[in-house]
Amino acid sequence: MPWLGFVPMRSNPIDSTYQMIKEMEVRGAGRIARAAVMALEEYCVSSRFSSTKEFYRNLFAAGEKLKSARPTAVSLPNSVNYVLAAAKRNEARNASLRETIRAIDEACDSFVASSLKATKMIGNYGARRIQDGDVVLTHCNSEAVTAILTAAHEAGKRFEVFATETRPRFQGRITASVLARRGLNVSLIPDSAVRVYMRKVDTVLVGADAIAANGAVINKIGTSQVALVAHETRARFFVAAETYKLSATTMLGELVEIEHRSPYEVVPRAWLKANSRVKVKNPSFDVTPPEYIDLIITERGIYPPQGIVFLMKELYAEPLVGIE
């Protein structure tokens, strides 16, 4: 398995990976997906089971635990279900334990390779939409977004980037740091300064944690406000996302759950203790409606938000395999 900035603990890869994802030591929808897959692979290869039945029971339980770590990032259940689907196919044909573990190992490697390839392809597609002299604003931290901006820069295009801090976890600082190290012209701004700078912006470029069948995008909290300001100033609003972030269950009428995190990400414990009558709300994501989105850039091409449902139907032409 290639180095991806994350290595599960060999002693207990499921528990340790669950904790790292939940506590945002591993962050970013693509990294979360790959971390979960790697943990499943490590679990299957390194664990010992007394029977095939025990193996399946423990594997499916491990998958469910991993999926519960971050409820909004659709890439997490989609990646886990991709691996579990390989297990279920082997279970259905009564394959040996050795054959099943080999199939899961291959499925894990395939997913990781496809994930990395998808990010690169999105970078190439999206770079064509960046022009010389553009001013680009981005929110939070997205591998797909940094891939696009890096590819455009490497193609010789010169442009300026504004990166929001992205409170309360400041993921925008990661984006600014990565882009600066790659030689891009980048400025870090407070989230509350978006309207001040938007008048200079040609294109807003953000990632996604989930995309619904109607083209709505679920992304880091504050994204919908950025989209609203971009709509007001007529700035283009682009979303970059791998297709494993498409929420197929929204085709069946389900909603994407919005994660609410600890109030201590917003205020210190001492402050909350001194102000115990104050309620602190900390939603991690919001929903940007499709009418505020111009294009969604995927590894399978570029789509208007209204075209996402057709992409979903193409990807899930069969009954929703692996989707629960």
Residue 104 has pLDDT above 80, yes or no: yes
Domain residue ranges in the chain: 13-121, 128-315
Residue 234 has pLDDT above 50, yes or no: yes
Residue 10 has pLDDT above 90, yes or no: no
Selection from 179, 252, 265, 262 nearest residue 214 by Cα: 252
| Strand-by-strand arrangement of the 210-211 sheet | 210-211, 217-220, 285-288
Selection from 114, 188, 177, 187 nearest residue 146 by Cα: 177
pLDDT given for residue 241 in this prediction: 97
CA pseudo-torsion sign 42, 47, 53, 54: negative
pLDDT given for residue 252 in this prediction: 86
pLDDT given for residue 50 in this prediction: 80
Which residues are CB-neighbours of 44 under 8 A, at least 6 positions away? 55, 59, 101, 104, 105
Residue 321 has pLDDT above 80, yes or no: no
| Averaged pLDDT of the chain | 92
pLDDT, mean of residues 127-144: 97
| Residues annotated catalytic, as ranges | 140, 209
- pTM (2 d.p.): 0.90
Could you confirm whether domain 128-315 is CATH 3.40.50.10470?
yes
Tokens encoding 260:
């609410």
pLDDT given for residue 317 in this prediction: 62
Which residues are CB-neighbours of 67 under 8 A, at least 6 positions away? 36, 76, 77, 80
pLDDT given for residue 12 in this prediction: 85
Which residues are CB-neighbours of 148 under 8 A, at least 6 positions away? 122, 123, 125, 126, 127, 129, 130, 205, 240, 297
Selection from 188, 153, 299, 303 nearest residue 238 by Cα: 303
Give CATH superfamily name and number for 13-121: translation initiation factor eif-2b, domain 1 (1.20.120.420)
- Cα(143)–Cα(1) distance, integer angstroms: 19
- Cα(71)–Cα(18) distance, integer angstroms: 12
pLDDT, mean of residues 146-163: 98
- Cα(138)–Cα(205) distance, integer angstroms: 5
